[in-house]
Amino acid sequence: MKSKVAVLRTRPETVLDDYRHLCALAGLREALDPGATTILKDNISWHLMYPSSNTTPWQLEGTILALHDAGFHDLVDVHNKTVVTIADLGDRYNKFGPVLEKYGIPKKYNFRDEDMRWVEIKPKAQMAVLHKIFPHGIYIPDFFIGKNIVHLPTVKTHSYTVTTGAMKNAFGGLLNVNRHYTHTWIHDTLVDLLAIQREIHTGIFATMDGTTAGSGPGPRTLIPHQKDVILASADQVAIDAVAAQMMGFDPMKIEYIAHATERGLGQGNPREIEIVGMPEVAEERWNFKVGVNLGTGTGRLLWHSPLKVFQKLFFHTPLVNIFIFASEYYHDHFWYPLYGKPVVERWKRESPWGQLFEQYPG
């Protein structure tokens, strides 16, 4: 039986209803356990608002409505933090808070002890790299165990993984702030995490927002493109593969998609994926390119060039704070004011999606 991915063309006036229809087409009800709590795992690649970088408020709201339609009302939104992303600011600047308050959905944080604890897990699946990267044990948040999860990524490129989507969205939720230890082996890390997800979750689903999609040096300093597309699937590999192909890449040449397919964790071969909804939209090819900026270019050197032999010195010692400060300063205090903010203001003024964003409170 082929994996199924739902794809629709949408517009601001109908996007909430379109998300509800999208999720029904993709089999949301069948993918999740009706007796379990469902985690909404939003994507905050950058706490600053930037088009195509983060979960959109209409994606969050439309997915909530689709879950309600399917009988799922026990919902919890989970934020994570990284060494360079502030979860509370991301929630505020991207207008998640008012949406969650509207539907009475609580927020939890995977880095707050009062919300969840980190517990060691011994996966049944053979790990490719995580057991080597974390020889003292693989730890995940206890709150994730025994619950459904719905991932909310966007359609965008990534300087380290070519594209990023549903599989990469688990990276922030399941790994702690030392997740940067994995960057040299990022593709197999994502595959290991998918194997863990299939063991701990009662159901997995994803919606992906491509209303404004991002090309270039992702996941933050992107070039936004209006594409008016939304996707959904219960197969995390398949939805990433379809999005990658629409962006113009061969999904089976992207390591994390190919390796996950080889391990039987999902289907990345487009010939084995059924497109429902608007199959003609999935035939588009956008010719996106992967780029680098100063921050991601430095990361590539330190994680993927011969300089990676120094990564324990740079990233497993207090020296890491130099790189954290440099990345934060470059992205938040140099690139965003100089290049990003004009893009955001033009998007809010000229794009129908930017205008919809402005209609959300917050």
pLDDT in tens, 256-275: 999 999 999 999 999 999 99
The mean per-residue pLDDT over the stretch 146-159 comes to 97
For all residues of the chain together, what is the average pLDDT? 93
The mean per-residue pLDDT over the stretch 43-47 comes to 94
Task: State the pLDDT at residue 52.
Answer: 97
The per-residue pLDDT for range 50-91, each reduced to its tens digit, is 999 999 999 999 999 999 999 999 999 999 877 678 888 989
Given a cut of 70, whether residue 303 has pLDDT beyond it is no
Given a cut of 80, whether residue 315 has pLDDT beyond it is no
Burial level of 123, CB count in 10 A (0-12/13-18/19+)?
Answer: middle
The per-residue pLDDT for range 201-243, each reduced to its tens digit, is 999 999 999 999 999 998 999 999 999 999 999 999 999 999 9
The per-residue pLDDT for range 114-129, each reduced to its tens digit, is 999 999 999 999 999 9
Given a cut of 80, whether residue 37 has pLDDT beyond it is yes
Task: State the pLDDT at residue 293.
Answer: 73
**What does the alpha-carbon distance between residue 91 and residue 231 come to, in Å, rounded to a whole number?**
23
Given a cut of 70, whether residue 308 has pLDDT beyond it is no
**What does the alpha-carbon distance between residue 320 and residue 46 come to, in Å, rounded to a whole number?**
19
**What does the alpha-carbon distance between residue 154 and residue 191 come to, in Å, rounded to a whole number?**
19
Given a cut of 90, whether residue 1 has pLDDT beyond it is no
CA distances from 252 to 29, 135, 153, 239, 326 (A): 29, 30, 20, 13, 34
Query: Is residue 106 within 8 Å of 79, Cβ to Cβ?
Result: no
* Residue 124: CA count within 13 A, CB half-sphere: 4
The mean per-residue pLDDT over the stretch 248-260 comes to 98
Task: State the pLDDT at residue 362.
Answer: 86
**What does the alpha-carbon distance between residue 258 and residue 251 come to, in Å, rounded to a whole number?**
7
Query: Is residue 79 within 8 Å of 90, Cβ to Cβ?
Result: yes
Q: Which is more confident, 307 or 27?
A: 27
The mean per-residue pLDDT over the stretch 177-197 comes to 89
Given a cut of 70, whether residue 160 has pLDDT beyond it is yes
**Number of residues assigned to the chain:** 362
Out of 83-97, 249-263, 320-334, pick the least confident. 320-334
Given a cut of 80, whether residue 304 has pLDDT beyond it is no
Q: Which is more confident, 291 or 185?
A: 185
Query: Is residue 3 within 8 Å of 273, Cβ to Cβ?
Result: yes
Task: State the pLDDT at residue 314.
Answer: 60
Task: State the pLDDT at residue 29.
Answer: 98
The mean per-residue pLDDT over the stretch 123-138 comes to 95
Given a cut of 80, whether residue 306 has pLDDT beyond it is no
Given a cut of 80, whether residue 179 has pLDDT beyond it is no
Q: What are the structural domain ranges in the chain? A: 3-359
In 3D space, the residue among 206, 177, 201, 195 whose CA is nearest the CA of residue 259 turns out to be: 195
